[in-house]
Structures are given as structure tokens and as C-alpha cells.
Chain A
Amino acid sequence: MRLSALLRGYTIALLVFLYVPLAYVVVQSFNSSRYPGTWEGFTLAWYAKLLVDAEVVRAAVNGLSVALASSAFSTLLGGVAAYYFAKKHRLGIADSFFYVPIVLPEIVEAVSLLMLYHYAGVELGFWTVLVGHTAYNISYAYVALKPQFLATSDNIEAAALTLGAKPFDVFVRVYFPLAVPGVVSSLLITFSMSFDDFIKTAFTTGPGFKTLPLVIWARAARGRATQDLNALATVMIVISLAASYVYTKQVFSRSSRR
């Protein structure tokens, strides 16, 4: 029993270690002190400063548009692939094909795509970033959606066909509704992969097209933490935690239902 108490204390301490840095940034973003550190009073000034920071607003809009487009495209394309290979019951080769982009270090993907763009003579910017993010997002969508399509049993399909549904209707009216939870997780995960992406964006973007991670990198690399950076970080942390929470909750409720 003593061991159990010890392990429990350790696990709690580890969770504290995971969350304290995030909480520190959040708290400091409301601190009226010019630099992070001692508490000097509550303020929203750093958030107000963010809203009028043209570079930040621009980058937020850029990041949102790439992430929205990429999550929609990749969920569609990854979904089609997942549906097709789940139906064909031939997942071995398809799995390897789509898993490689997930396991390969991102820097490799990034530099190789940069060279392809260079030799193809493409102008770098919104489109090149979007295409790059979608390249790995299709794999994440495939992984998120495959189990959903596999879980829909052939019997349900046979029933639909017996009742006179056309094969296309089977997809739209049987498979798709049953796959909705997978579609939601796919959209969430691909959105945040794209919105948070730093390495691939850094290599495939052109002058003038920045996203928030690039702005944070450029400013944090200048040396130290600042309060408006803390405010920006807080906004992004809250968004990711919310998305992550929804996603995790869904995954857990799905696995416990099984």
C-alpha cells in the first residue's frame, strides 16, 4: 500500500510538471508587469496589444485559412482512401503507404518538398504551404477514418442493399453517418496539425506569408519571453487544449463503448 501511495504522489507530481509551464504562461499574460516575473496587477493590455499587432492578426488569418482548407481537403481525400481500402479489405499495402508520412521526421518532408517546389518553379506562399500540410494530413485523416469504416459491418450494407439502396446511397446514407465521429476527429486533428505546423511551413512559405508559429519562433528566438508573446501563447494554448479535450473525450468514449 505504501508503494501505491508513493506512485500516486509521483504521478500527480508528473501531471503538475506537465501543466505548470502552461499555467505560468497563462497567468503571466494577465500580469501588468512589463516583463514576466513578479505579479504587479491584473491587466488585459497585452491582449489589446495583440489585436492591433498587424503581423499577428495577419498571421492568425493566414494560419486559419490554411488550416481550414487543409483539414477539409485532407479529410475528404483521406476519407475516400480509407473507405476504398476498408471495403477492399486490402489494408496492408495501403497502411504502409499512408503510415510513412506519419513516421518520417518532418524536417525530411520539409526539405524534400522545398526542392520539388524549387525545381518545379513554383512561387512559394499560401498554396505551397497548403499543399505541403495536406500531404501529411491525408495520412492522419486516413488513420482517423479507417477504423470507422471497418467497424461498419458488411451486414448493415447488405441490409441496405436488400432494401433497395443503390451503392452510392449506401455510402452517403449508411457509411457516412456512421463515420461521423471519425470525421470529427479527423477534422480536429488535421486542423491542429496544420495550424500548429512550424517546420514544414518554415521551408515551404514565401516572403510575406507567415503563420503564428513562425511569428512566435522569430520573436522568441530574439532571447526572452515577453508579455505580448505570453498573451499570444495563451490564446493558442487554450485553442489547442480545447480541441485536444474534445478529441480525447471522443476517443475515450468510443473505446469504452466497445
Chain B
Amino acid sequence: MSRRAPLPSALVLLAAVPLAYVLATFYLPLLVMLAESLKPQGLSLYVYVLFNPDYAAIMAYSLVLAVVTTASTFLVALPAAYYLSFHVEDEKRKSRLLAAFTVPMLVNFLLKAYALMNVLSVLGLANTYLGMVVGMVYEYLPYMLLPLFSSFERVERRLLEAAQALGARSHHTFLRVVLPLSLPGIASGVALVFLMSFTEFIVPAMLGGVYGYTMGYLIWDLFLKYRNWPVGSALAFMVTLVSLAIVYFYTRWGLGYEA
């Protein structure tokens, strides 16, 4: 057994500072938001919001957009992630290519949407549904590609040789060996992209034109335009619950892993 330093008591006190800070500026506001949504009429406001045809339509619309985005991003990222992991032999080249995909992640969302707006208008796709989906895929691609890639990397290569030796065609190997073994990464990418795209509104607002009115935009308007805080809070609180539920189930099923 190695000897452990007793933690200096000053440090214990210091560690309380970040905890208190995050409690006060992140968790406390969530409680304020819950209280705000319950203030006028308790839980019946939630019933009203859920059954109000206008709100329900926007929620359903955003849900569909999030599903379309997640599915398209998955299909677009899959071949590239597969190529990087299984077909690039040289490790240096592999990490260079991977970096090329991840470097744009830190470029501002707004800037990327703006940059894409330029190109989409040249192509005549600005303010169309297709253009908006292209924009969503553009923004979320690295968030899907990275987890897919890292779970492909974990697939034991000998299993592929075994499958081949037993006579499996390459697409069978992919569908029945690689894909099932990569489920954690797929789940991770899908959950991440779905979560982010459900409330995304910068991309729809800039690229979607009339198609761009999503859940995120509705919440934005309810706070900054209509000043209807209780309804805005109720919607935001439902988004919170959905997000936390996704993250909870995802880690609970043991699908979460350190990237």
C-alpha cells in the first residue's frame, strides 16, 4: 500500500467552491424554472402545453427533424468512420484524417451555419428543408463520426478474420460482426446528435427559412418575444426531463464508456 497524502483541509474547503458555484448558477436556476412553470396553475399548465395543438405541432415537427437529422448524420458518417478504422493501415495517417474531421468541431456553430448559407444560396438550397438538413448534418457530423470510429477501433480484428475464414462475405461480416459489436458507439453518437438536434435552432433559423420554426425557436420566442415565461419554462423543463432520461438510460444500460 502506498502512503496517501492527507488532503489539506484548505483544499477540502476549496473544493466546496466549484460545487457551490455550479449549484447556484446551474442547478438552482433549474428549480426556479420548475417553480415558474408551476406558479400560475400547477401541473395543469403542462397538460395545457401538451394538448395545445400549436405547441404539440411544433414539438412533433422538431422531433421529426431531430430523427431525420440523426438518421442522415448516421448514414453519412458511417462509411467514413468505417474507412478510417478498417482501411487506413498507417496510424499516423489515421490520426491525421481523424483530426481533419474533428478540428472544425470547435468552429462556432453560428459561423458554420453562416458559411454554409453562402454555399447553399449559390446552390439554390437556402431556405429549403433539404438545405436545413444539410446544415444539421454539416454541424453534427464529427459528433457522430467520433464515437462510431472509436467503437470500430475496439472491434477485435481476429473476429473478422475468423468470420472470413468461416466463409462470411464482407457485408455479412459487417452486418453480423462489426455492427453488433459497435452498438455502444452507435448508441453514443445517436443519443448525442439526437439530444443536440432536438433543441437546435441556430441552424434551422439561419438555413431553414419558413421550415426553421423548431422547439428551440419556440422557447426562444416565448422568453424573448412573447414574454410567456410559465409556458416557456414548462417546455424547457420537459426538454430537461427528456434529455436527462436519454442520458440516464444510456449510461444505465452500460452503453456509456470513456471515449
Contact = CB atoms under 8 A, between A and B. Distances in A.
B107 A22 contact: yes
A101 B199 contact: no
A111 B3 contact: no
Nearest to A247: B106
Interface of B is mostly: helix
Given A112-B33, A157-B4, A8 B240 contact: no
B178 interface: no
Given A25-B118, A138-B21, A111 B236 contact: yes
Interface stretch (A41-49, A51-59, A163-171, A176-184): A163-171
Interface in B137-181: 138, 141, 170
A213 B107 CA distance: 12
Contacts, number: 248
Interface residues of A, number: 93
Contact of A111 (B114, B117, B233): B233
A244 B41 CA distance: 48
B32 A112 contact: yes
Contacts of B15: 80-81, 83-85
Interface in A113-152: 113-116, 119, 131-132, 134-136, 138-139, 142
Contacts of A67: none
Nearest to B81: A11
B106 A158 contact: no
A170 B2 contact: no
Interface of A is mostly: helix
Nearest to B201: A107
Contacts of A256: 91, 95
Contacts of B170: 3
Given A111-B233, A154-B2, A167-B6, A233 B29 contact: no
B239 A225 contact: no
B198 interface: yes
B33 A81 contact: no
A7 interface: yes
Given A21-B119, A134-B21, A158-B2, A115 B29 contact: yes
Nearest to A10: B79
Contact of A198 (B109, B232, B239): B109
Interface string A215-258: 01100110011000110010011001101110111001000100
17 contacts: A18-B100, A88-B7, A98-B22, A100-B247, A104-B240, A105-B240, A108-B237, A113-B29, A134-B25, A138-B22, A167-B7, A196-B107, A196-B110, A213-B108, A237-B107, A241-B104, A244-B106
Interface of B: 2-8, 10-12, 14-15, 17-19, 21-22, 25-26, 28-30, 32-33, 36, 76, 79-80, 82-84, 87, 91, 95, 97-112, 114-119, 121, 138, 141, 170, 195-196, 198-199, 201-202, 205-206, 216, 219-220, 223-224, 229, 232-233, 236-237, 239-240, 243-244, 247
